[in-house]
């Protein structure tokens, strides 16, 4: 039995450019993997032991962090837009 698909696999275009932490560190040598993991850890608001809110760096709000199971992927377009916004605000 042969199943015919309407769209060949080669015609499917990815909708997002994503990278792992290691791939992003290779593409942006100014950021080490440790520095990128620190940015990811501090991306969203969190609370200290006294219950005080520590504001995040905005990376999560920018939509740059994608979690698929245990894997953390970075949306490159959102990351670059976040970088541009940080550069222009300082």
The per-residue pLDDT for range 30-58, each reduced to its tens digit, is 999 999 999 999 999 999 999 999 999 99
Q: Is 70 exceeded by the pLDDT of residue 14?
A: no
**Assigned domain for 10 exists:** no
Q: Domain range holding 82?
A: 16-89
Name the nearest CA neighbour of 86 among 54, 42, 32: 42
Residue 15: what pLDDT? 79
Average pLDDT, the chain: 88
Statement: the pTM of the whole predicted model exceeds 0.85: no
**Assigned domain for 6 exists:** no
* Structure-block tokens of residue 64: 């740059």
**Assigned domain for 63 exists:** yes
Residue 12: what pLDDT? 72
Give CA–CA dist 7/27, Å, rounded.
Answer: 32
Residue 68, Cα to own-chain centre: how many angstroms? 11
**Assigned domain for 2 exists:** no
**Assigned domain for 74 exists:** yes
Give CA–CA dist 29/60, Å, rounded.
Answer: 22
**Assigned domain for 27 exists:** yes
Name the nearest CA neighbour of 30 among 69, 75, 83: 83
**Assigned domain for 70 exists:** yes
Domain count of the fold of the chain: 1
What is the arithmetic mean of pLDDT over 4-15? 65
Cα-trace Rg, the chain: 18
Residue 10: what pLDDT? 63
**Assigned domain for 66 exists:** yes
Residue 86: what pLDDT? 87
């Amino acid at each position: 039995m042969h199943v015919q698909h309407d769209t060949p696999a080669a015609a499917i275009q990815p909708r997002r450019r994503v990278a792992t932490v290691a791939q992003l560190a290779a593409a942006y040598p100014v950021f080490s993997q440790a520095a990128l993991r620190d940015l990811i850890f501090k991306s969203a608001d969190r609370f200290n032991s006294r219950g005080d809110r520590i504001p995040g760096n905005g990376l999560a709000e920018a939509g740059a962090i994608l979690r698929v199971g245990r894997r953390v992927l970075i949306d490159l377009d959102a990351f670059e837009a976040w970088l541009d916004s940080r550069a222009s605000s300082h």
